[in-house]
Amino acid sequence: MTYTIRLFTFLIFFSFLSCNKEENKKDIVKEAIAFPDLGEDGPYNYGQTYQGRNGYTTYYPGNIPVILSIPHGGDISPSEISNRTYGVSVTDSNTIELGIAIRNYFYSNYNIRPYVIINNLKRTKLDANRDRIEAAQGNIYAERAFDEFHFYIEKAREDIITKFATGVLFDIHGHGINPDGFNDLRTWIGYLLTSDELDNSNDYIDKNISINDVSIYSLLNSSGQSLSELLSGPSSLGALFEDNNYTALPSPQSRSPEGMRYFSGGYNTFRYGTNRNFNFSSIQLEFPFQGLRDTPQSRNLFAATFVDLVQEYFLIHLNIDLFSL
């Protein structure tokens, strides 16, 4: 009996010692890592590609006032980053491929390119559409990738403001089958307005929702249209989708979710669409899988449509002709 207790005490003491040792080791490792200053791989030139640390982030500088950010399409799972322990971890499949198809279509048909920033890490390692704490969950390598992802976006925005005075970031995502089994084939367009807010009448929206609460402040300012027109009027982004045989929400056909599942925009949409220090807008795009991002054919077909409707959107609301900049 006594022997058992002694052994037990010894084991506890030993594990306490080894725990301490582990923690010391961790501290030493933490102190030994010094990342280069952000921006040391710059300046960022159009036509070149920048990969970030270990290729966790890709940055393609562009030459039109359009940014495509792709936070959830990555599939890299390095062992130096332990899995995130809370939050969503589902990959938005084929969204990187979709973004690249859009980039390629801009270039091959109009000789221009959007700025594209991609998180290549799997969402189990980094969620690049959450605040830094939830995104990286304390892992220094994931934190570095998060910092680089946003640094590249900020450099892209800075370049765009300098050259064009305003621009739009599209944060690209994919939504799957709803928990109730319904497969919504509409693209969910997020301006930071919740389902409940969108469920109101146009009159209510225009009278009661402040333009400070949406991510398209600069578009509202320059277009001269009301908020409800920007959301579901005949020249809203949703309307342009529908004019081109893709359904969308909100849009003239689907003004509001009416109780259906819908994502109104996340961290990136908020961060780049509500900062009044910049004349800049941000829109979240949650694309369905079937018929849009499932095959190379679907993606190429949609890319062609998307390029044309972004051109139209910029002409109508920002008075910018992307094809002749």
The residues binding Zn ion (CB under 5 A) are 72, 92, 173
- Residue 315 Cβ, how far from Zn ion at the closest point, in Å? 29
Considering the complex, state which of residue 92 and residue 148 has its C-beta at the smaller distance from Zn ion: 92
Alpha helices, DSSP H, located in the chain: 2-32, 95-110, 132-136, 140-164, 195-198, 202-208, 217-223, 227-232, 237-243, 267-273, 296-318
- Residue 76 Cβ, how far from Zn ion at the closest point, in Å? 16
Q: Which H or E element spans position 293?
A: none
Quick one: tokens of 157? 């925005």
Considering the complex, state which of residue 44 and residue 188 has its C-beta at the smaller distance from Zn ion: 188
- Residue 252 Cβ, how far from Zn ion at the closest point, in Å? 26
Dihedral pair phi/psi, residue 64, rounded to 5°: -135, 160
Considering the complex, state which of residue 255 and residue 293 has its C-beta at the smaller distance from Zn ion: 293
Considering the complex, state which of residue 60 and residue 188 has its C-beta at the smaller distance from Zn ion: 188
Dihedral pair phi/psi, residue 247, rounded to 5°: -85, 155
- Residue 63 Cβ, how far from Zn ion at the closest point, in Å? 27
- Residue 67 Cβ, how far from Zn ion at the closest point, in Å? 16
- Residue 6 Cβ, how far from Zn ion at the closest point, in Å? 55
Considering the complex, state which of residue 93 and residue 223 has its C-beta at the smaller distance from Zn ion: 93
With CB atoms as reference, the residue minimizing the distance to Zn ion is: 173
Considering the complex, state which of residue 92 and residue 229 has its C-beta at the smaller distance from Zn ion: 92
Number of neighbours of residue 252 by Cβ within 10 angstroms: 16
Rounded Cα gap, residues 249 and 2, in angstroms: 72
Q: What strands, in cross-sheet order, belong to the sheet with 115-119? A: 57-60, 115-119, 66-70, 167-174, 280-287, 187-190, 248-249
- Residue 293 Cβ, how far from Zn ion at the closest point, in Å? 12
Angle between the N-to-C axes of helices 296-318 and 95-110, in degrees from 0 to 180, rounded to the nearest 10: 60
Burial, 59: exposed, middle or buried (Cβ in 10 Å; 0-12, 13-18, 19+)?
buried
Considering the complex, state which of residue 61 and residue 174 has its C-beta at the smaller distance from Zn ion: 174
Give the distance, in angstroms, between the CA of residue 229 and the centroid of all CA atoms in the same chain.
24
